[in-house]
Amino acid sequence: MTRTYTSDAVSMIGQQLSVSGWVHSRRDHGGLIFIDVRDHTGILQLVFHPEAAEAFALAEEVRDEYVVRVEGTVRERADELKNDKIPTGSIELAVESLTILNRAEALPIQPFADAQASEELRFKYRYLDLRRPKIQNMLKKRAEMYRRIHDYMDNREFIEITTPILANSSPEGARDFLIPSRLQQGKFYALPQAPQQFKQLLMVGGVPRYYQLAACFRDEDPRADRLYGEFYQLDLEMAFVEDGETVRSTVEPLIVELATDFAGKTLKFETIPRIPYVEAMEKYGSDKPDLRFDMELIELSDVFAQSEFSVFKNAIANGGAVKAIRVERGAELSRKQIDTFTEIAKSEGAGGLAYIVYQDGEVKSPIAKFLSEQELNAIKEQTGAVDGDTVFFGADKRDTVNAVLGRLRNEFATHFGLKDPNVVALAWIIDFPFYEWDAKNKKLDFGHNPFSMPKGGMEALASTDDKLQIVADQYDMVMNGYEICSGGVRNHNPEVLYAVFNVLGFSKEYVEEKFGAMLNAFKFGAPPHAGCAFGVDRILMELMNEHSVREVVAFPKNGSGVDVMMNSPSVVDSAQLKDLGL
């Protein structure tokens, strides 16, 4: 008899069937034994009668999570015994034959308990944790997401091409995972941080449109929205494209489809906005703002330029800024809660957190006595504050003010429940700075990566004295406060590539050593091209309302980058090291 799934049994009343699965629970009622058997389609109740002596005897041995195969007849339950909480609750299987396929020891975790084990223990026994319906559903949703991506890209004439995993080390912004070569001792491969160079070489090779669901490897510290070590991205590139909008308009319908048809969410914006980087930082204090709620940063520097309040006045005099954020219902915050937000502000570089509470027609604030009536009126008018609100201030260097209020904006939204999990707010952040100031090392560095085309090309590099003002044709897509995509129009001109590195003091020889294959290829007729890459793990995390990206992959590493199930990383045999010359 061929295997039947539990979900098929409802339509087979009076028929024989064979079901295989795990014992979900067992109940011994003396003269009868009831066992719930579980497979990937659901749960089916089994009934064992003493008349089927051999099967009944085996059923007395069975315990939870034994793997069994049963054969019998499907019958309808009595009305008073039906269970409308499960799809098969109206029927049961009268078992005639039971085979124990494998026994199970007492489980170290209980996958079906209401209270789950710790993340560390679940990951150690991930093969048991995978049995949970939630995880099973996540794996199915991930497969469905991949299928939709493949269908979308294939229907738009993108060609799926795999690129090498054993690659060369290159500066992509994170640490490489290095692999020593046995045949070329003293030299190393690197796992690719992204297929960036390979996909650009495909464009030179005449591929019109490329994509793959690529494995990428970066030795970055793990966090809730970033897996350690390896992650997957939808990587794509388009030939004969000279502006980022062509790429954006090509791929954004896919993300809309995933948010709506796939995940059943509501879009915040019918037309996805394009927001310049500088505007995003000034209005939201972040280049990945959560736009499900407003709460914009409000410029007040003009109000306090001549203020008697030295904290605000000095910040402006020293080239900084004074900005504010209005928090609706902020008057509900207790003193202790405000202290918590103050500590958050300090963690972002603020010296403290000034605020004004509007309550019962009064202005309550430790700083109110330092402000003139004209200033108080201007604050209320420009922020739109009404009774019940609180206005919080930032006064410092502009970058610090934006960072502090941007972080607080996010924290206030969480506190007041403004992040609707059923809404997806998408936006493109465009026109990123090509270079940024590395305060730690006190030098210029690339803002994103060296492969984007600076807007204006060679002329912009040569004529712009302040290199921080050079803009890259670079763009990110953000979803509910997460960066889910990064892309750009590529630099396909060798002379421009030499020039962008020269600004940072890198020689022509250095560029040729690091990017020789790509530079040589560009010399033989490289078309203009552009592309991007979407982080599929992060997208799935947000669309499935998960708070950790580790919950959307089958075999995650823990927060320290350790696979506690497979015990990796681990010490290797000395003979292996000897083969590698290490």
Is residue 385 within 8 Å of 326, Cβ to Cβ?
A: yes
Strands 297-299 and 354-359: unpaired
Three-state DSSP class for 535? strand
Using pLDDT thresholds of 50, 70 and 90, give the confidence band for residue 171: low
Give the whole-number percent of the chain exceeding pLDDT 70.
99
How confident is the model at residue 447, as a pLDDT? 84
Give the whole-number percent of the chain exceeding pLDDT 90.
79
Average predicted confidence (pLDDT) for the chain: 93
- What is the spatial distance between Cα 258 and Cα 265, in angstroms, rounded to a whole number? 9
Is the pLDDT at 348 greater than 70? The verdict is: yes
Is the pLDDT at 210 greater than 90? The verdict is: yes
How confident is the model at residue 1, as a pLDDT? 58
How confident is the model at residue 450, as a pLDDT? 81
For residue 231, the cross-strand partners are: 216
Mean pLDDT of 446-472: 86
Residue 478, phi then psi, degrees to nearest 5 = -115, 145
Region of residue 454 (phi > 0: left; psi between -120 and 50: alpha; otherwise: beta): beta
How confident is the model at residue 70, as a pLDDT? 96
Mean pLDDT of 237-256: 97
Mean pLDDT of 45-58: 94
- What is the spatial distance between Cα 345 and Cα 146, in angstroms, rounded to a whole number? 40
How confident is the model at residue 461, as a pLDDT? 86
Strands 354-359 and 426-430: unpaired
Is the pLDDT at 2 greater than 80? The verdict is: no
Is residue 21 within 8 Å of 6, Cβ to Cβ?
A: yes
Q: What is the pLDDT of residues 268-311, one digit of tens each?
A: 999 999 999 999 999 999 999 999 999 999 999 999 988 989 99
CA distances to 66, 242, 251, 428, 471 from 276, in Å? 58, 18, 19, 8, 10
Lookup: tokens for 60: 């007395």
How confident is the model at residue 226, as a pLDDT? 87
Three-state DSSP class for 297? strand
Residues with Cβ within 8 Å of 355's Cβ and at least 6 positions away in sequence, in order, are 330, 338, 365, 367, 390, 391, 392, 393
Q: In what helix (H) or strand (E) does residue 6 lie, and over which residues does it extend?
A: none
Mean pLDDT of 110-125: 92
Mean pLDDT of 97-126: 94
Mean pLDDT of 389-414: 96
- What is the spatial distance between Cα 511 and Cα 507, in angstroms, rounded to a whole number? 7
How confident is the model at residue 459, as a pLDDT? 86
Our measurement of the distance from residue 208's CA atom to the centroid of its chain's CA atoms, rounded to an integer in Å, reads: 29
Q: What is the pLDDT of residues 5-22, one digit of tens each?
A: 888 888 999 999 999 999
Is the pLDDT at 134 greater than 70? The verdict is: yes
Q: Which DSSP category does 452 fall into?
A: B
Three-state DSSP class for 103? coil
Is the pLDDT at 90 greater than 90? The verdict is: yes
Lookup: tokens for 70: 């049963």
Burial zone of 453 (CB within 10 Å; 0-12 exposed, 13-18 middle, 19+ buried): buried
Three-state DSSP class for 488? strand
Using pLDDT thresholds of 50, 70 and 90, give the confidence band for residue 255: very high
Q: In what helix (H) or strand (E) does residue 46 lie, and over which residues does it extend?
A: strand 42-48
Is the pLDDT at 170 greater than 80? The verdict is: no
Burial zone of 540 (CB within 10 Å; 0-12 exposed, 13-18 middle, 19+ buried): buried
Is the pLDDT at 466 greater than 80? The verdict is: yes
For residue 213, the cross-strand partners are: 234
Our measurement of the distance from residue 256's CA atom to the centroid of its chain's CA atoms, rounded to an integer in Å, reads: 16
Using pLDDT thresholds of 50, 70 and 90, give the confidence band for residue 256: very high
How confident is the model at residue 173, as a pLDDT? 65
E strand intervals along 313-403: 321-327, 354-359, 362-364, 390-396
Structural domains in the chain? 3-102 (2.40.50.140), 127-274+423-428+527-564 (3.30.930.10), 293-418 (3.30.1360.30), 432-472+493-525 (no CATH)
Mean pLDDT of 123-130: 96
DSSP string, 424-451: E-EEEEE--BSEEEETTTTEEEESS-TT
How confident is the model at residue 35, as a pLDDT? 96
Residue 338, phi then psi, degrees to nearest 5 = -65, -40
Burial zone of 548 (CB within 10 Å; 0-12 exposed, 13-18 middle, 19+ buried): middle
- CA-closest candidate to residue 532, choices 214, 272, 177, 170: 214
Lookup: tokens for 283: 């209005």
